[in-house]
Chains A and B, each alone.
Chain A
Amino acid sequence: MEAIGNIVSLLFFPGGLFVIFAGLMYEWLDHKIIARSQNRIGPRWFQPIADAIKLLTKEEIVPDGVNPVLFAILPLIALAGALTAALYVPMAGLKPAYSFAGDLIVTVYMLSLLTLSIGLAGANAKERFSLVGSTRALTQLFAYEAPFLLALLGPAIAAGSWQISEIVAYTETHTWMMILQPIGFVVALIGLMGKLELPPFDSPEAETEIVAGALTEYSGRGLAIFHLGKGAELIIGLTLITAFYMGGVSNPVWFLVKTVGLLAVLAALQSLMTRLRIDQTVGMWWRYGALLVLLQWLIIVVVQLV
């Protein structure tokens, strides 16, 4: 019985197909909201699915001079990382499939696998846009990663546990953390944008400078899998932040309402901002992001001591 449960949670829910599909839907919602905020109509609901299917069925071209094994395996690692992370978060408002002390750290690093794989994929290709793109992606990773993690640890400290299910149980019974720890919330939200390389942090894939960045040489299946991974990461990131900062996700309806609301905020932020240069991104994160989140920590510690 347990084996079947394991397989279901790995392949269908909450890992596997569910996350992939939900990720595509959230991606569509993101595009749609941005389009509407720009006074356009935007794509129809099946656009991301159609794109994914199209890419999956297309021929994959392996460029000269890359390591073919790495080339094929990196997208899979990225997707696997994201799907693994999905197992530890309260997906769709249900209890996480697996849970152990300190799984928060594992989840956040599983999510970073995607960026790491993208960076490696770019460095693997002997193509200049890819190289610049991967340098930028990795530079950006080092910029937002620490503040983002620290921001997620804020509620963890308040809850006195580094286990996602316990933190969620704590946030559900207390005032919304975004009111208690507003700085942490803002940093986490913007950190998520950096993680997903959404505007204004999209300089690793700035099309007007370096075409598609690290993924320039990817086509067909590899590209599709990277996209699926991104979609999965979007929904996991949203879940984590809603669970931690917006009063938890006690049932599927609340989950939907809160994550979509958060996505709308993300979309609005994206459409309001100009792309930052990579030096500006890094400067911003270390100058303001890290300091702000440390300030938040200080406040938390002081409040808890008093």
Chain B
Amino acid sequence: MMLEMTQKEEKFIIPIGPQHPALKEPGHFEFAVDGELVTDATVRLGYVHRGIEKGAEARNWNQNLYLVERICGICSHIHAFTYARGVERLAEVEVPPRAQAIRVLVAELERIHSHMLWFGVAAHEAGFDTLFMFSWRDRETIMDILEGLTGNRVNYSANVLGGVKFDVTDEHRKTILEAVDFMEKRTKHYLNVVTTDAMFLQRTRGIGVANLQQAHRLGILGPTARASGVKRDVRVDAPYSAYKQFPIKMVVETAGDLEARFVVRLKELFESYRLIREILNNMPEGDLQVKRFPRRIKPGEVISRVEAPRGEVFYYIRSNGGEMPERLKVRTPTMMNMASVLAMAVGHQLADMPMLLVGIDPCFSCNDRGVAICNSKGDHDQWTWERLRQHGIDFYAEKV
């Protein structure tokens, strides 16, 4: 059936998703292929739209901290961090320096586990399962650290408005330093693997090149952009929180291919290790939280930007003086990077598609925050809740 239809259009389309082994989250890609060569690519997102922005308008400032944490499972801390920073600026509250240092510490630990996770997934997409298994085994040390430090492995809930929940004890300091030493050794090894293994390089070197102009034109963010030579990192461009005292060096590569994306992410880890050591050795003294954080926040609006493992996370928060935000707008890096996959896909082999897709470290559920309904003619219109409900009832009535 499908075959006949696609043949009529003289295009052989390979669908990837919404359910596909290469995708750990639902997204839908259609690659038109000529033999093994990809000639066209389209994407459809929005399968995991969860209405979080709207939901935030019905919860108070404290509750939202945990709602935004669930935007992304991998960078949960970053979202809470960005949100808390925005709200604190809005409330004109200064967070104690020790709390800021702990926030950055957790953010960097999270970056390590996120990059290692990506590294494993990318290796798996390339069909190198040994690398996948080993990198995830090593990532487990960081997960254990985060669990011991914060009390949970995924949604750490490290933040409260006006500070953090826990302190870093000497014991934690010791285990973290040990783990970081171990990880540094392993990361060196992995960097060696991705830059010298001939078999692996066949799948990464010169594949999916996005040069500087393309990167600028497509507005790519994060490590993907830095692999194309774009000097863009919020931690450096507009240092926030403890990054002011503990500056970080930007890692930039210029090749713009998949190999460069591996190298940038792995080299960033060394910076994270260095920063973690520095923070632990020069931990500022002081409180963990402000004494009292207002329940109502005076009217105003604020923009908060933070560098997540995947790129810049952008929050816009507006308050009307109540207990709840009037508007919360989130933009995650995957949204910006998605277009680059489509641009890079054309002219590559079908076998490269999963690698290209994973190269931007996509996170579908964090970028699905809006839906547009298209009818078959392709024009958009807005449906009311009643109409949507009626449509559902009619649809199933017809089916039965």
Contacts and interface: CB of A to CB of B under 8 A. Distances in A.
Contact of B1 (A38, A64, A273, A279): A64
A111 B202 CA distance: 30
Interface in A11-57: 37-40
Given A274-B202, A275-B126, 17 more contacts: A37-B130, A38-B130, A39-B133, A126-B3, A128-B13, A129-B14, A200-B199, A208-B354, A209-B22, A209-B350, A272-B130, A274-B127, A274-B197, A274-B199, A275-B203, A277-B202, A280-B202
A276 B129 contact: no
A275 B130 CA distance: 11
Contacts of A211: 20-21
B2 interface: yes
B353 A274 contact: no
Interface string B277-318: 000000000000000000000000000000000000000000
Nearest to B348: A277
Contacts of B197: 274
Given A126-B2, A209-B22, A279-B349, A273 B128 contact: yes
A144 to B, nearest CB: 17
Contacts of A202: 127
Contact of B351 (A37, A126, A206, A271): A206
Interface string B97-135: 000000000000000000000000000111111100110
A203 B351 contact: yes
B133 A38 contact: yes
Closest 5 pairs (CB-CB, A-B): A275-B127, A38-B133, A208-B22, A274-B128, A277-B351
A203 B199 CA distance: 14
Interface residues of A, number: 32
B15 interface: yes
A231 interface: no
A65 B21 contact: no
A150 interface: no
Contacts of B20: 211
A203 B202 CA distance: 14
B200 A38 contact: no
28 contacts: A38-B129, A38-B133, A38-B134, A64-B1, A65-B1, A126-B3, A127-B3, A128-B12, A131-B3, A199-B129, A203-B127, A203-B351, A206-B127, A207-B22, A208-B21, A208-B124, A208-B127, A209-B353, A271-B129, A271-B130, A272-B130, A275-B351, A276-B199, A276-B202, A277-B351, A278-B351, A279-B349, A280-B202
A129 B15 CA distance: 9
Contacts, number: 86
A126 B1 CA distance: 8
A132 B197 CA distance: 28
Interface size, B (range):
20 to 34
B137 interface: yes
A74 B14 CA distance: 25
A289 B65 CA distance: 60
Nearest to A272: B130
Contacts of A208: 21-22, 124-125, 127, 354
Nearest to B358: A208
A40 B129 CA distance: 12
Contacts of A271: 129-130
Nearest to A280: B202
Interface in A266-306: 271-280
Contacts of A126: 1-3
Interface string B189-202: 00000000101101
Contacts of B36: 132, 277-279
A130 B349 CA distance: 17
Contacts of B14: 128-129, 132, 210
Contacts of B34: none
A207 B203 contact: no
B384 to A, nearest CB: 38
Contact of B126 (A64, A129, A210, A274): A274
Interface string A113-128: 0000000000000111
Nearest to A65: B1
Interface in B13-42: 13-15, 20-22, 33, 36
Nearest to A211: B21
A158 B351 CA distance: 41
A206 B134 CA distance: 20
Interface in B349-391: 349-354
Interface string B153-179: 000000000000000000000000000
Contact of B127 (A38, A64, A65, A199): A199
Contacts of B127: 199-200, 202-203, 206, 208, 274-275
A123 to B, nearest CB: 11
A128 B2 contact: yes
A39 B352 contact: no
Contacts of A129: 14
A264 to B, nearest CB: 15
B26 to A, nearest CB: 15
Interface in B224-278: none
With a 10 A CB-CB cut-off, give which of A211, A271, A273, A278 has the most chain B CB atoms.
Answer: A273
A126 B20 CA distance: 18
Contacts of B352: 277
A126 B5 CA distance: 12
A213 to B, nearest CB: 11
A109 B128 CA distance: 31
Contacts of B130: 37-38, 271-272
Contacts of A38: 129-130, 133-134
Nearest to A126: B3
Contact of B199 (A132, A210, A273): A273
A199 B197 CA distance: 16
Given A128-B2, A128-B15, A200-B127, A40 B133 contact: yes
Interface in A170-227: 199-200, 202-203, 206-211
Contacts of B200: 274
Contacts of B3: 126-128, 131
Interface string B180-212: 000000000000000001011011000000000
B142 to A, nearest CB: 17
A74 B36 CA distance: 26
Contacts of A274: 126-128, 197, 199-200, 202-203
Nearest to A64: B1
